[in-house]
Homo-oligomer: A and B are copies of this chain.
Amino acid sequence: MKTVIIGGIAAGLSAASQIKRQEPEAEVVVLEKSGDVSYAACGMPYNLYFKEKPVEKLYAMPLDTIRKERGVDYRLHHEVTRIDASGKSVEVTDLESGKSYRESYDFLVYATGNKANRLDYPGFDSEDVFYFRTLEDTRRAKSFLYGKPPAKVLLIGAGYTNLEVADVLTNMKLKPVIVEKAAMILPAFCEEVRAKVMEKAAEKGIELLTGVDIEEKAGRTVRTSAGTFEADMVVVAAGARPNTALFAAAGGELGVAGAVKVDRFLRTNLDGVFSGGDCAEHYVRQLGRNSYFPLGPAANKQGRVIGQNICNPEKMTEFWGVDQTAVFKFFDYTVATTGLSELQMQTLGKNVVKVTVDAPTRGEFPGGGTMRIVLFCEKGSGLVLGCQMVGEDVVAKRLDVLATAIYKGMTVFEVAELDLSYSPPYAPVWDPVLVAANVAVKKV
């Protein structure tokens, strides 16, 4: 049995490793266009901060380990130029030698990830404009930053990536300006969380403007609907879209958000072709359907499921899906969400009880802080629909309790009864999660 995998970052390497774990004799060829082996893309903004830490520290493992210990034929700088779905083969170009060849497969895994939306306004093709999608992007940005440190940095787009980049740049004593096209930041979050993020940005001296249309860039000058900004460095993080060209050209069917359409087994419409990671759809349990939620954990989990299914075609496993859990760091704040967004609840016509609680994170012990929890549940039943948190100290791993509750369909009555850990260094006697659940119980 031979599997060819296009793209070797998260889903691709996970699928490869899983196949080799289950069937050590199977042949697995990974064709990775870039010169970088599987890396943790979510760590890229943070790596900027550490001048001495090479971006290669983000590699999941050395190439040698992948090849020798895992037994995967992992080829860097190998670009697939065409998929022949009926002939079950791909055309490959070795970018270093320039030579092309054909590689046949029994199974193909399409794991090409996504790519940053490029700005096509005049002047945005210059050398001082950076994106943040690949390790090579990070390498370029880092070399620029530490080469001749920019006096002024303009960040276009106010999503997780640029908020993390703003955090890092501020810690490097740069004062970035962020402009966002939409009328508000962080659409997955509710106003009560967004307000805290905006406050923190203001506290840190970061100018953050929304509803800004970019017009053009001429030298150091970026003209926008909100006026002119001078910038020695521009970082664009204005969303990303699935890399589907090769797949579509081979007759592959696309789905939500233009991602590769997959069934619950992660099969595509092409015979023997699976897909996962940032190029594919992701099943969202609470919606009961596929959506597009391109984050690292889903990519890794989908890769593993693909590997299992390739090895067990008679007994395939469904990808169980995501609960839309996401988290990012913004200075001393952790900003986190799980479950449905407020907009999704509205769209679904849910009758929602929403409670907002500000609570201390620890008992009488130094190092704690305050966090805000916004808990959403269904009126009447009390079913937990979503939860968002923002604040200091331990936030992300508190959110996980709600992610667990949502996975298992728990109510706020049940959450209020949880026996959560208590000791002054870790929590007050009523953990903020319990406080929020108790407030919700009264309103259900």
Q: Which residues of A contact B (CB under 8 A)?
A: 10, 40, 42-43, 46-47, 50, 57-58, 295-298, 300, 320-329, 334, 336, 338, 363-366, 394, 396-401, 403-405, 407-408, 410, 414, 417-427, 429-431, 433
The answer to whether B420 touches A297 (Cβ under 8 A) is: yes
Q: Contacts A40-B363, A398-B400 given; 4 further ones with Cβ under 8 A?
A: A323-B419, A325-B422, A396-B426, A397-B400
When chains A and B are docked, how far (Å) is the Cα of A418 from the Cα of B297? Answer: 10
The answer to whether A329 touches B398 (Cβ under 8 A) is: no
B residues in contact with A334, CB < 8 Å: 425-426
Knowing A42-B422, A323-B419, A404-B418, the reply to whether A57 touches B296 (Cβ < 8 A) is: no
Residue in B46, B394, B396 whose beta carbon sits within 8 Å of that of A364 in the complex: B46
Number of identical monomers bound together in the oligomeric complex? 2
B residues in contact with A365, CB < 8 Å: 43, 46
The answer to whether B422 touches A297 (Cβ under 8 A) is: yes
Residue of B nearest to A323 (CB): B419
When chains A and B are docked, how far (Å) is the Cα of A396 from the Cα of B394? Answer: 10
Residue of B nearest to A422 (CB): B297
A324 to chain B, nearest CB (A): 7
Knowing A329-B425, A334-B426, A429-B296, the reply to whether A43 touches B364 (Cβ < 8 A) is: yes
B residues in contact with A363, CB < 8 Å: 40, 42-43
A209 to chain B, nearest CB (A): 25
B residues in contact with A408, CB < 8 Å: 404, 408, 410, 414
Residue of B nearest to A296 (CB): B429
Knowing A404-B405, A430-B300, the reply to whether A338 touches B423 (Cβ < 8 A) is: no
The answer to whether A419 touches B364 (Cβ under 8 A) is: no
The answer to whether A364 touches B47 (Cβ under 8 A) is: yes
Residue in B57, B323, B328, B400 whose beta carbon sits within 8 Å of that of A423 in the complex: B328
The answer to whether B419 touches A396 (Cβ under 8 A) is: no
The answer to whether A43 touches B407 (Cβ under 8 A) is: no
When chains A and B are docked, how far (Å) is the Cα of A350 from the Cα of B363? Answer: 36
When chains A and B are docked, how far (Å) is the Cα of A327 from the Cα of B426? Answer: 9
The answer to whether A419 touches B338 (Cβ under 8 A) is: yes
B residues in contact with A401, CB < 8 Å: 397, 400-401, 404
A428 to chain B, nearest CB (A): 8
When chains A and B are docked, how far (Å) is the Cα of A327 from the Cα of B410? Answer: 24
